[in-house]
Structure 1
């Protein structure tokens, strides 16, 4: 799928430490481009037509025999359908394991800094950001799931220990996800919970929404793993 075939709908900036949501329609894509060095964008996904179906990261990883996300990988729902596919990636590694920050972690790591004192520079966390955004769609705590962390890299060593790898994403690097279903995408740009930096930082990301062609028989995501061919078949039948 070439960039020339994209029809850009709009572009906007996701500020640092912010939460954003959009129902990404089937046949459209969302490209995330780093504007600052080493941002982190946590993402959760739900079927916009049936919120009880949502991203299942354990199935996503074991079905494709992977522990990281990059071009070709797809994001499976708990119904074995494909919510979104990663069609392009210049970063090379996105973390599906490290989770997201919460209020206690942010306070312990960076100190408490409330809105009343710091206004828009106050210390936020991804968990509360997700919950606030879910509430806009009538959803809540029980609708949370494991999240992807775009632009961040976490390695798992032979002893099972997890290690955050700094400097994974330079400004200008990007990742693009294509909606295979009508997908509620919720993003949060707070720092990765394993980021060792002692400084509370705000990293911006550019978001570009585009119309894109349907995946054909030679699609890189369809052919990434044999399981993905079956996943695309199940997803396409859902819309027939």
Structure 2
């Protein structure tokens, strides 16, 4: 039997970084190996689109394919190991008060807003825009500049994307609530890229995008 995940004891005095990220805003920060990274859904039903990179080699990054295959589950929760495209463990979810997170719904974009909703929705801000804005502003820790080619399949924390037996996806009302969080232990120095989703056209944010909080602690 595998060892059970031990829930870390949160200690406010050991917080190394804390920031509230407004809805529709990108966020990028490094989480060191051995640190805990917590995302708090402050008001509930807020999707948080997230990508992870090896902080010292950005060509190694979170892989939805390898993560899903290795755990045999399309959803993430406590005990899920987030793996890179080299199949290395990047982070493990050690605490989760939401219960399920999406790996296949992808990030909203101008193109998907147009196809799914209406041509006049094309101009609306999207997670892909937020990702590209953050990449354009990143100093990249002295590495080669990051571009849109560095974007890959993301995790949607707190987002409810049920899948039917026939493989149909739905973007449904969230299953999170105010104050719920997901917490990960980093196994390598990890660059985290987040879009706090601005989507207004489906219920993933309750049609009302809200702030989330990022906490890194030792």
Measured in 2, the distance between the counterparts of 1:193 and 1:160 equals 25
TM-score normalized by the length of structure 1:
0.77
Moved more, 184-193 or 166-175: 184-193
Cα pair distance change 1:158/1:208, threshold 3 Å? same
1:209 matched to which residue of 2?
A: 216
Residue-by-residue CA offset, 1:106-154 (whole Å, 9 max, x unaligned) = 467485597xxxxxxxx42111111221232211121111000000121
RMSD (Å), alpha carbons: 2.4
2:130 matched to which residue of 1?
A: 129
Larger radius of gyration: 1
Q: Secondary structure at the match of 2:161?
A: strand
Q: State the aligned residue count.
A: 203
The question of whether the paired residues in 1 share the 8 Å contact of 2:67 and 2:81 is answered with yes
Q: Which runs of 4+ in 1 moved over 3 A?
A: 104-114, 191-194, 196-200
1:218 matched to which residue of 2?
A: none
TM-score normalized by the length of structure 2:
0.84
The question of whether the paired residues in 2 share the 8 Å contact of 1:99 and 1:193 is answered with no
- Kindly indicate whether residue 183 of structure 2 is the aligned counterpart of residue 176 of structure 1: yes
The question of whether the paired residues in 1 share the 8 Å contact of 2:111 and 2:122 is answered with no
Q: Secondary structure at the match of 2:102?
A: coil
Cα pair distance change 1:17/1:90, threshold 3 Å? same
1:3 matched to which residue of 2?
A: 9
Cα pair distance change 1:45/1:112, threshold 3 Å? same
2:4 matched to which residue of 1?
A: none
The question of whether the paired residues in 2 share the 8 Å contact of 1:98 and 1:193 is answered with no
Cα pair distance change 1:142/1:41, threshold 3 Å? same
- Kindly indicate whether residue 42 of structure 2 is the aligned counterpart of residue 41 of structure 1: no
- C-alpha displacement of 1:50: 0.7
